[in-house]
Structure 1
Amino acid sequence: MEVGMAFRDYNGRISSMDFHKATNYLVTASDDESIRLYDVQNAMCLKTINSKKYGVDLVRFTSHPTTVIYSSKNGWDESLRLLSLNDNKYLRYFKGHRDRVVSLSLCPRKECFISGGLDQTVLLWDQRAEKAQGLLRVQGRPAISYDDQGMVFAIAYGGHIRMFDMRKYENGPFEIFSLGGDVSDANEVKFSSDGRLILLTTSAGQIHVLDSFRGITISTYNVKPVSGNGTLEASFSPDGKFIVSGSGDGSVSAWSIAKGKVAYWSSSDVEPPLIKWAPESLMFVTGSTELSFWVPDLSKSGSLIGAK
């Protein structure tokens, strides 16, 4: 893989990125208080919206390709906002967190979402209502994610991943998986597209891959730990066979879950880049002080075809 296109017009570090599952759209949030909408297929920035009053930290697409939910970064208002990118209008405010929201996941099948904050709560929301529909208390910084079916969600913190049934979450987790002694802050938790694997990154620079049914750790990869408020992010390839990840030294690595490390790209950056693999596509993007689109290196395509 190599960088095929890069957007270098950011005036701050990219804090969040999300692909829309049914279109070619990508949305980013940045420390320059902007939300940007991209057409990935044509490598074009379609729109830039500023959020000077509230700032912007995390951003996620709803089912609609021009509607997003995002969290604030101003330190005085921790509300989440439902925003129409078409006309730059707020459709709803979601009030409930009392400290910064650090994890946000939207249900892929229903109009609901979950958020986790430094106030040690996980709130469950319906997009049509301003007040949270449920609350779960945690003991640490939570990382949260729905599975691709929207039937199960995971909450990771304190060296464990807790699995909840969406229909009866109030009964507590139906499974608790141990991370084998890594009790550092959970950064990101994700399911593979087929739901069979769970990926978790931690501030200690560890990337854990677990069997989502049995909780057995399949592999653990190590990169340089993150520092300060940095977030270590990694992403499954669409087929669930590979993982790409940032690192605390700014580099990017790729692993085959079956065979181990397969690629490494160094960087002059000093913070971990955000990283997302495009749905059903041979492309991933990284976000730092610039947005980079990574595509196959055609000069090596012959060797890849031969290996296949």
Structure 2
Amino acid sequence: MSQLALDDRVLRSMGIGKVFKEGHSRINSMDFCRTEDLLVTASDDDSIRLYDVARGQQLDSVNSRKYGVQNICFTHASDCMVYASRKPGAPSIKPLDAHALRYHSLHSNTYIRYFHGHTAQVNSVCMSPKNDTFISAASDKTVRLWDVRTNICQGCLQVPGNPTSTIDQQGLVFAVAVESGVLKLYDLRSYDKGPFDTFLVEEEKGSAAGFADIRFSNNGNLLMAVAEGRIYLLDAYKGSTLRRFSNGIPEAGAAVEACITADNQYLMSGCDDRNIRVWHIETGREVAVWTGHAGVPGCLRMSNRRMLVASACSALVLWIPNLKILDQLQ
């Protein structure tokens, strides 16, 4: 399957390869490993689960009962993750620890390092694909740069709003998005000089809704931004809005993720009707609708290593091409 070229036929043939229902709570974040066929999920029940997606098996399950877990992502070690706390109001948690980030080894089930600095809920955590840098954005109106090798914050940006952030696949640029449709681009090597470009999504101008999810395409040409039920695709160099899609999420509804496929040709998103929709980016046409979730799939990721998509509500679903259907579509 990894040798299949992604096209309309393959996307229409995608079906459920495996469903995992170990937990009954919402899966709030997940991430694919870059170097192995692994997927990690974080849930509102404080669990962290590791899966072998090549074999369709759960490998491990641990808990972060005291602090909770959200915004989980792999480091460059396949058994280590960084993530944000999720229980800021718990009486047993010290104020310093309430919004700390944690570097966790699943192999030994121990915290390797804590990253203190944020004073409000963390909105996003993103690991650089090229080195040990990662970036976090929080409701305290700060974006912080870190290195997993040290707990000392490498840089802090004060921003005028409630931010989310992401790093491009080349590991050179990071983007910060706030309310009113504002996105700012920074050079990771000279972020202290301020943004080198600022984009404005005109339709979001004056809106109090912030961007819940932003990501660069693999080739760096596109920047995706999700605000409530609206998904924007921007030219990452000019800032112009190329496409706008809708996922049906109502105003102030729970945020859902969208993602650009690994070949930069398609956009997919969880939708309010509990389906996943796939659109062709260049033409804007709807290519496929995948059904099967019992709840709205708020998490959505595509593997860079194989023809496989993962989505999650309270259950985790792995989507793969159905070869029988694919033959019928020829």
> Taking structure 1 as the reference length, what is the TM-score of the superposition?
0.94
The offset of 1:298, in angstroms, is: 2.4
Q: What does residue 167 of structure 1 align with?
A: 189
Distance 2:295 2:105 in 1: 34
The offset of 1:115, in angstroms, is: 0.2
Higher RCO structure, 1 or 2 (CA under 8 Å, sep 6+): 2
The yes-or-no answer on 1:2 pairing with 2:15 is yes
The offset of 1:227, in angstroms, is: 6.0
Contact 2:295 2:313 (C-alpha < 8 Å) held by counterparts: no
Secondary structure at 1:289 match in 2:
coil
Distance 2:186 2:242 in 1: 21
Contact 2:15 2:290 (C-alpha < 8 Å) held by counterparts: no
The offset of 1:42, in angstroms, is: 0.5
Secondary structure at 2:301 match in 1:
strand
Q: What does residue 63 of structure 1 align with?
A: 76
The offset of 1:273, in angstroms, is: 2.4
> What RMSD, in angstroms, separates the aligned Cα atoms of the two structures?
1.6
Q: What does the per-residue CA deviation read over 1:240-269, in whole Å, with 9 as the maximum and x for residues that have no partner?
A: 101110123432111010222111235674
| Gap change, CA 1:214 and 1:227, over 3 Å in 2 | closer
Structure 1 stretches of 4+ moved >3 Å: 226-229, 265-272
Contact 1:151 1:166 (C-alpha < 8 Å) held by counterparts: yes
The offset of 1:194, in angstroms, is: 1.1
The offset of 1:58, in angstroms, is: 1.5
2:105 aligned partner, one-letter code: S
Secondary structure at 1:292 match in 2:
strand
| Gap change, CA 1:301 and 1:268, over 3 Å in 2 | closer
Q: What does residue 125 of structure 2 align with?
A: 104
Q: What does residue 142 of structure 1 align with?
A: 163
Secondary structure at 1:134 match in 2:
strand
> Taking structure 2 as the reference length, what is the TM-score of the superposition?
0.88
Distance 2:321 2:251 in 1: 31
Choose the corresponding residue for 2:31, options 18, 30, 38: 18
1:183-194 equivalent positions in 2, closer than 5 A = 183=207, 184-194=209-219
The yes-or-no answer on 1:285 pairing with 2:272 is no
Q: What does residue 154 of structure 1 align with?
A: 175
Q: What does residue 176 of structure 1 align with?
A: 198
In the alignment, structure 1 segments of 5+ residues that lack a partner are none
The offset of 1:224, in angstroms, is: 1.3
The offset of 1:275, in angstroms, is: 0.5
Contact 1:274 1:286 (C-alpha < 8 Å) held by counterparts: yes
The offset of 1:155, in angstroms, is: 0.6
2:239 aligned partner, one-letter code: G
Distance 2:312 2:279 in 1: 19
In terms of mean alpha carbon deviation, does 97-106 or 274-283 score higher?
Answer: 274-283
Q: What does residue 237 of structure 1 align with?
A: 261
Secondary structure at 1:186 match in 2:
coil
Q: What does residue 6 of structure 2 align with?
A: none
| Gap change, CA 1:2 and 1:227, over 3 Å in 2 | farther
Q: What does residue 54 of structure 1 align with?
A: 67
Distance 2:210 2:249 in 1: 11
1:145 aligned partner, one-letter code: T
Distance 1:268 1:294 in 2: 12
Q: What does residue 246 of structure 1 align with?
A: 270
Distance 1:98 1:86 in 2: 30
In terms of mean alpha carbon deviation, does 248-257 or 156-165 score higher?
Answer: 248-257
Distance 1:227 1:268 in 2: 22
Distance 2:305 2:104 in 1: 26
Contact 1:238 1:281 (C-alpha < 8 Å) held by counterparts: no
Choose the corresponding residue for 1:119, options 140, 146, 161: 140
Q: What does residue 11 of structure 2 align with?
A: none
Secondary structure at 2:212 match in 1:
strand
1:116 aligned partner, one-letter code: A
Secondary structure at 2:119 match in 1:
coil
Distance 2:24 2:156 in 1: 36
